[in-house]
Amino acid sequence: MTRADFVRQLVDIEARIDIAGLEEASGEPRTALAAARDPKLRAAVAGAWYDRPVTVQIALLADPDPRVRAAATVHPRPGVPPDWRERRVADPAVRVKVAAYVPLTADRFTDLMRTEDEEIRRAVAGNPHLSADMAARLLDVDDPLVRVAVAHSRHVAADTRNRLYALVEAERDAGDIDARVALNWSSTEPSWLREAPLDERMTYLNCPQPVFRPVLASCRDLPEEAWRLLDDDPDLKVRRTAVLPPPRGVARHPRAADALLDQLLSDPTPDVADAAAANSALPPARSTRRGRRTVPQRHLPCAPGAWAHGFPRERVSAFRVRGQTAMGRVRTAPGREPPRGAEPWEPRCRPPCREEQQERPGTKPRRSGGAARPCCPGVPAVP
């Protein structure tokens, strides 16, 4: 079976596949695939091409096949254009999906609630654009999934939230499956908390509902005392979120603007600043990191594949400050702690690989019992 046949089977069974795989298997660009004759292929493109242009999204929203329209509205991005929202909310094929994220007017909310459809009510309850009046009207819905979703709204007071959770927990203890799903696998989260003022966010630091604390831990401007509490949180998801580094893709992008690179070079997170320092668009004279957690250029490996004390390049700066990362938090890999008193932190590089040897014809291949030249001149190789 060829790869094209395998991708074809995935499309036929409506399995998820990335847009690059679809292009590679079909040999056609994604713009052509979005207008393919096969509705299953169009639906696969709609479910995999997240950054599609508005013109392509409109064509998918107007597709005669309901599977294509449903796939085009699964994710809030690229979303539904404002002039298409009324039509899509009235479309039975996509109503549930669209009701979960499009801005809701009072009339639109009333029309959706009038259907008395269980899935629609749950989707509306998790909509981040709920107003205070809409949230108040959902408080009396006897559905544990709706109660938990409404409890995540910014318009619900703490005592009301505690009451809603207490009701759902009582239903769970009585053996209700929906209540167990709502408490353990709810699809909604209070994402609005990331944009709230710092003083308001800090009030959720000791929130009894764990779903708020991972969102709080994903923020980057919290004070030191907040990180100390989040690092010791009893919930594993909160602790993991507190130590996850931010994405490094922007810092590594070859077309990153100079002003953005200057900002990323001073980023308090070592992984981001190291990625910016390694950006190919950055002149060598500016490749040294700046800031209070700077690693001198002489202490960094000089080749992309070099290792320092067994750690890849992007981890060197974290251990240069004894395992300390952004906000003063500690992230030390078990069993990989650098040796004590190794200051300055001179890197030890691995022997060159076969490709590197081919690039440097004068280097002899490493054989059993022999030694090869180090990949960084002037730096001793690992014995």
For residue 256, tell me if it sits in a domain: yes
Q: How far is CA 17 from CA 44, 244, 365, in A?
A: 7, 26, 41
Cis preceding linkage at 344, omega within 30: yes
Residue-averaged pLDDT of the chain: 77
For residue 284, tell me if it sits in a domain: yes
Whether 207 and 221 map to the same domain: the answer is: yes
Name 349's bridge partners: 381
For residue 127, tell me if it sits in a domain: yes
What band does 49 get if pLDDT is binned at 50, 70 and 90? Answer: very high
Q: Indicate if the pLDDT at residue 91 is higher than 60.
A: yes
For residue 359, tell me if it sits in a domain: no
d(CA 315, CA 308) in angstroms, rounded, equals: 9
Residue 173 one-letter amino acid: D
Question: What average pLDDT does the segment 291-316 reach?
Answer: 35
Question: What average pLDDT does the segment 187-207 reach?
Answer: 93
What band does 353 get if pLDDT is binned at 50, 70 and 90? Answer: low
Q: How far apart are the first and last CA of the chain?
A: 46
Whether 114 and 180 map to the same domain: the answer is: yes
For residue 374, tell me if it sits in a domain: no
Whether 273 and 235 map to the same domain: the answer is: no
Q: Indicate if the pLDDT at residue 45 is higher than 90.
A: yes
Whether 66 and 131 map to the same domain: the answer is: no
Whether 183 and 230 map to the same domain: the answer is: no
Question: What average pLDDT does the segment 99-118 reach?
Answer: 91
Would you state the pLDDT for residue 309?
A: 34
What band does 287 get if pLDDT is binned at 50, 70 and 90? Answer: low
Name 311's bridge partners: 308
* Token duo for residue 362: 């004068």
* Token duo for residue 145: 């999934």
d(CA 380, CA 78) in angstroms, rounded, equals: 52
d(CA 308, CA 338) in angstroms, rounded, equals: 9
- 347: nearest Cα among 302, 383, 314: 302
Q: Indicate if the pLDDT at residue 54 is higher than 80.
A: yes
Whether 59 and 42 map to the same domain: the answer is: yes
For residue 300, tell me if it sits in a domain: no
Residue range 220-270, pLDDT digits in tens: 888 888 988 998 899 999 988 887 654 445 565 655 677 777 777 777 766
Residue range 15-42, pLDDT digits in tens: 988 898 899 888 899 999 999 999 999 9
Residue range 313-335, pLDDT digits in tens: 333 333 333 333 333 333 333 44
At 381, phi and psi to the nearest 5? Answer: -80, 155
Would you state the pLDDT for residue 26?
A: 87
For residue 11, tell me if it sits in a domain: yes
205 sits in which H/E element: none
What band does 148 get if pLDDT is binned at 50, 70 and 90? Answer: very high
Whether 46 and 16 map to the same domain: the answer is: yes
d(CA 168, CA 148) in angstroms, rounded, equals: 8
- 65: nearest Cα among 96, 90, 39, 86: 39
Whole-prediction pTM: 0.62
25 close to 8: Cβ distance less than 8 angstroms: yes
Domain enclosing residue 260, as ranges: 248-291
Would you state the pLDDT for residue 196?
A: 93
Domain boundary among 61, 77, 93: 77
178 close to 145: Cβ distance less than 8 angstroms: yes
Whether 109 and 172 map to the same domain: the answer is: yes
What band does 286 get if pLDDT is binned at 50, 70 and 90? Answer: low
Total count of domains within the chain: 4
Annotate 161-177 with DSSP letters as a single string: HHHHHHHHHHHHHTT-H
Residue matched to tokens 């909160």: 238
Whether 19 and 40 map to the same domain: the answer is: yes
Q: What is the DSSP letter of 308?
A: B
CB atoms within 10 A of CB 318: 25
For residue 163, tell me if it sits in a domain: yes
